[in-house]
Amino acid sequence: MADTRATTQTGEPASRPRTSSWKYIGPGIVVAATGVGAGDLVATLIAGSTFGYTLMWAAVIGCVVKISLAEAAGRWHLATGRTLFDGWRSLGPWTTVYFAIYVVVWGFLYGATAMSSSALPVVALFPDGPGLKFWAIVTGLTGLVFVWFNRYAVFERVMTVLIGIMFVVVVYVAIRVAPDAGAAFAGLLPVLPDGSLLYTLGLIGGVGGTITMAAYGYWVNAKGWSNTSWMKVMRLDNRVAYITTGIFVVAMLVVGAELLHASRTALASGDRGLIDLGMVLEDRFGAGTAKLFLVGFFAASFSSLIGVWHGVSLMFADFVERFRAPAAPGEEHAGPAVADRQQRSLPFRAYLLWLTFPPMALLWLDRPFGLVIAYGVLGAFFMPFLALTLIWLLNSSRTPREWRNGRVSNGMLALSGLLFVVLCVQQVRDLPW
Q: What span, in angstroms and rounded, lies between the C-alpha atoms of 416 and 204?
A: 9
Write out pLDDT tens, residues 107-129: 988 898 889 889 988 988 888 88
Write out pLDDT tens, residues 260-287: 776 666 666 556 677 778 888 888 889 8
Interhelix angle 132-149/346-356, rounded to 10 degrees, is 170
Residue 32 has pLDDT above 70, yes or no: yes
- Give pLDDT, residue 2: 39
Instruction: Kindly report which listed range (185-194, 248-257, 365-374, 387-396) carries the lowest average pLDDT score.
Output: 365-374
Residue 239 has pLDDT above 80, yes or no: yes
Q: What span, in angstroms and rounded, lies between the C-alpha atoms of 251 and 412?
A: 25
Residue 193 has φ and ψ, to the nearest 5°, of -65, 160
H helix and E strand count, the chain: 17, 0
**Number of residues assigned to the chain:** 433
- Give pLDDT, residue 388: 92
- If one compares 22 and 89, the residue with the highest pLDDT of the two is 89
Residue 245 binned pLDDT confidence (cut-offs 50, 70, 90):
confident
Reduced to 3 states, what is the DSSP secondary structure of residue 7? strand
Residue 9 binned pLDDT confidence (cut-offs 50, 70, 90):
very low
- Give pLDDT, residue 263: 64
**Average pLDDT over all residues of the chain:** 83
- Give pLDDT, residue 16: 58
pTM for the whole thing? 0.88
Residue 125 has φ and ψ, to the nearest 5°, of -75, -30
- Give pLDDT, residue 5: 38
